[in-house]
Amino acid sequence: MDLHSDETLWYFFKKGETSAFTLLYKKFYPQLHVYGIKISNAPHLTEDCLQNFFIQLYEERKKPRVIKNLKAYLFVSFKRRLIKELQKNHNNIPISEAQFFKSNFTFSSEELSIHQEIRFLSTQTLKNLINQLSPRQKEVIYLKYYSDMNSTDIAEVMDMNYQSVLNTLQKAMTKLRIASENQQIKSILKKS
């Protein structure tokens, strides 16, 4: 069975093909796992929630769903499930997504060394600069550059309109550019 496209993969998964489910799991589990840890900062909770997410996805595979983009659908669905689980662990006290992202959504040096967008900055400096962005800006950067999503998919995952995604990404990149220029000036001044 040739499952190169997400549409074909989803079609055969909905038909109950176990090989399609296996491929779906292998293809998206690592990305969803990293994204979930960014949201929760709780690896075990994320893993349990992700396992349950895939079980539920399999059990409900025959439900009629119109899916335009499989990756975005999985990210949105898993994010909602994980946030519900996190709220449950906080005694059902309503906690906004922004609160989770503000405290948990950070970038490590290892991630940045793999996906370094600004080559003239050291990985540590870039990590510090990105972690100073707002929670929404960090999430947009993560989805764009680390999950390889386009702006339409990001809008769906973050429940924002398309233009807001573009604006948020532009503001984040502008902040990073200004901060990196300031870093360069400081390093030049230190050398002189």
CATH topology of domain 1-105: Rna Polymerase Sigma Factor; Chain: A (1.10.1740)
| pLDDT score at 143 | 92
Same fold, 1-105 and 107-192: no
Q: Measured between alpha carbons, how far is residue 97 from residues 46, 54, 183 in Å?
A: 15, 22, 31
Q: Measured between alpha carbons, how far is residue 191 from residues 172, 184, 185, 186 in Å?
A: 29, 11, 10, 9
Tens-place pLDDT, residues 35-64: 998 888 888 999 999 999 999 999 999 888
In whole angstroms, how large is the CA radius of gyration of the chain?
Answer: 19
Which value, to the nearest 10 degrees, does the dihedral of the CA atoms of residues 93, 147, 28, 35 take? -20
| pLDDT score at 188 | 58
Query: Which two structure tokens, joined as six digits, stand for 31?
Result: 């990305």
| 3-class SS of residue 109 | helix
Look at the pTM and tell me if it is higher than 0.75: no
Q: Report the amino acid identity of residue 100.
A: F
What top-level class would CATH report for the domain 107-192? mainly alpha
CB 54 within 8 A of CB 23: no
Q: How many CA atoms lie within 13 A of 38 on its CB side?
A: 27
How far is Cα 130 from Cα 107, in angstroms, rounded to an integer?
7
| pLDDT score at 118 | 45
Over the chain (192 residues), what is each successive 10-residue block's mean pLDDT? 77 90 93 90 91 94 87 93 85 55 58 49 73 90 89 92 93 84 63 53
| pLDDT score at 106 | 65
How far is Cα 20 from Cα 94, in angstroms, rounded to an integer?
37
3-state helix, strand, coil in the chain (%, to 5): 75, 0, 25
Tens-place pLDDT, residues 124-142: 777 788 888 998 999 999 8
* Domain extents in the chain: 1-105, 107-192
Query: Which two structure tokens, joined as six digits, stand for 182?
Result: 């300031």
| Helix or strand (DSSP H, E) at 99 | helix 97-104
Q: Which of 81, 132, 67 is nearest to 102 (CA)?
A: 132
